Amino acid sequence: MEKRELLYSGKAKSVYTTDDPDYMVLEFRNDTSAFDGKKVEQLDRKGRINNLFNAFIMQKLSDAGIPTHFEKLLSDNEALVKKLDMIPLECVVRNLAAGSLVRRLGVEEGKELNPPTFELFLKNDALGDPMVNESHAATFGWASEAQIARMKELTFKVNEILKQMFLDGDMLLVDYKLEFGVFNGEVTLGDEFSPDGCRLWDKNTREKMDKDRFRQGLGGVVEGYEEAARRLGMDI
């Protein structure tokens, strides 16, 4: 597989074409951003840990029957993935209240959410990724009703798999964001699963091990990600 030209450079990853139109290379950079790109920093080893973390999780999800774009690791900072026709929605599941849910509804941070919530956000930086609902998605043509139903089903299935996996490493999976696309007509998990796009707390101390360390200026950001990886049994 030959890496060809840069297709797109996002806030944290760059996407390259390959000699096969069905595949592309994702390059995980050290750029770390928050607050719609208003806070940006380069964090040493962040691209590497997110690439390795994502590969580990995607492999586990594939093994459990989730269709994912992940093919293989190419290097410390690159992975080969299937090129999806991306659905411009972020699917968020929450097991414990945090972040925008706390700000929006005034519930206490850490409150257990039973059953877990499912939310959709439109991927649109200019609008600040507004929360939308299934009716909006169908009306504006972002996804069909069947695709939304499948994304929701897969997002909850991912929760069952990952909640337990993190718990086995004494971590709480507080919430996370998934992005899907379509490959050969099938709704397929794309983008990444890493501590950049989820919240992970130590089960006992509730210490944050995710991007909230960056958002809140707590320091030890990459160290937190690496600790989470080690607790999952990754050899990093």
**159 close to 93: Cβ distance less than 8 angstroms:** yes
* The only residue of 12, 61, 98, 154 in contact with ligand ADP, by rule CB under 6 A: 12
Please report, for residues 55, 70, 206, 229, the alpha-carbon distance to residue 33 in angstroms, rounded to integers and kept in the order given.
Answer: 21, 23, 23, 21
Told to check if 49 binds ligand ADP by CB under 6 A, we report: no
Told to check if 83 binds ligand ADP by CB under 6 A, we report: yes
Q: Smallest distance from the beta carbon of 74 to ligand UDP, in angstroms?
A: 23
Q: Smallest distance from the beta carbon of 3 to ligand UDP, in angstroms?
A: 26
Phi/psi-derived region of residue 192, left when phi > 0, alpha when psi is between -120 and 50, beta in every other case? beta
Contact set for ligand UDP, span 200-229 (CB under 6 A): 211
Tell me phi and psi for residue 196, to 5 degrees.
Answer: -70, -25
Give the number of other Cβ atoms within 10 Å of residue 92's Cβ: 21
Identify which of 99, 189, 90, 104 has the alpha carbon closest to the alpha carbon of residue 132. Answer: 90
Q: Which does 197 bind (CB under 5 to 8 A by kind): ligand ADP, ligand UDP, none?
A: ligand UDP
Q: Which does 100 bind (CB under 5 to 8 A by kind): ligand UDP, ligand ADP, none?
A: ligand UDP
Told to check if 197 binds ligand ADP by CB under 6 A, we report: no
Using CB under 6 A as the criterion, which residues of the chain lie in contact with ligand UDP when the complex forms? Answer: 90, 92, 98-101, 129, 175-177, 197-199, 211
